Structure 1
Amino acid sequence: MNRCSSAFIAGTFAALLIALPLSAQAQSGTRDFPAKALRGTLVVVQPPNITMDDRETRLSPGARIYNTNNSLVMSSSLLNKALVVNYTVDLRDQIQNVWILTEAEAKEKRAGFGVQRNYVFESLQPKPAASTN
């Protein structure tokens, strides 16, 4: 009998030690994101097709989207919603992990992929100098 109760106490103590860091992280309200995570605005068009900062891309196979409570969210539940997120990109330039941000997390500065264009409008091109013949 004595062995049983000491094993129960040891098991309970081990469970508390495991749960303590998890509850502390949930109470702090901030999450640790990978250093390589970028900031962007996500819009799910038709899963797995998305736009990230007005750039069409895709979610990678097995992509994970976390809500503000770090619970997994299905991409189909986010159709046509513009969300401020942190995200990571895989080797094929597809979105691998997405974290939907709280207002406090969105205020923190982080690098973003940004909108890139590979064209220049004709009206923005430099004008040739007028010839004086």
Structure 2
Amino acid sequence: MATAGQVLAQTTLRHFPDKAIRATMVVKAPPEITMDGTPMRLSPGARIRGTTNTLVLSGTLVGQPLTVNYLSDPHGQVHEVWLLTEAEAAEKRARLGSQHNYSTLGDSPR
């Protein structure tokens, strides 16, 4: 039997920060993860929220490809993660893309 809180959590739209990035996360061996295949780390104190906004332990997610929205801390470590429902995953959002710490002549506008 579903409680009122569970029913409300299933019907409530969650609002994610504008800067949150969409990715497929796989927890390897916490705090080691990948985001769209790119190796990353969970920050100390990282929070992973399940589809009902409850906290989820990273160790329970090992090896599962999960569609998420996430934010990184100033050091580039993943600090906030939201596991997405199918409806949330269907909404368009920016993905990580390639990152590099250099530029080339081809990067500048002509």
Q: TM-score range by the shorter chain?
A: 0.7 to 0.9
Superposition deviation, residue 29 in structure 1: 3.2
Runs of 4+ in structure 1 deviating by more than 2 angstroms, as ranges, are 25-29, 114-118
Distance across 2 between alignment mates of 1:28 and 1:36: 24
Matched, 1:65 2:53: no
2:19 maps to 36
Taking the TM superposition and a 5 Å limit, the aligned residue runs for 1:2-13 are: none
Counterpart check, 1:106 vs 2:86: no
Q: Shift in Å at residue 26 of structure 1?
A: 2.8
Q: Between Structure 1 and Structure 2, which shows a larger proportion of helix residues?
A: 1
Q: How many residues align?
A: 97
Q: Which has the higher contact order (CA 8 A, sep 6+)?
A: 2
- Whether the 8 Å contact between 1:42 and 1:52 is mirrored in structure 2 is yes
Could you tell me whether the CA contact under 8 Å between 1:66 and 1:72 is conserved in 2? yes
Supply the distance in 2 between the matched residues of 1:50 and 1:108 (Cα, whole angstroms).
23
Preserved contact between residue 53 and residue 115 of structure 1 (Cα < 8 Å): no
Listed as ranges, the gaps of 5+ residues in structure 2 are 102-110
Q: Secondary structure at the match of 2:45?
A: strand
The whole-number CA distance in structure 1 between the counterparts of 2:95 and 2:45 is 22
Q: Does 1:89 align with 2:85?
A: no
Percent of aligned positions that are identical: 54
TM-score, normalised via structure 1 length: 0.67
Q: CA RMSD in A?
A: 2.1
- Answer with 1 or 2: which has the greater Rg: 1
Q: Which one-letter code corresponds to 1:31 in the other structure?
A: R
Give secondary structure in 1 for the equivalent of 2:51: coil
Higher strand share: 2
Offset, 1:30: 1.6
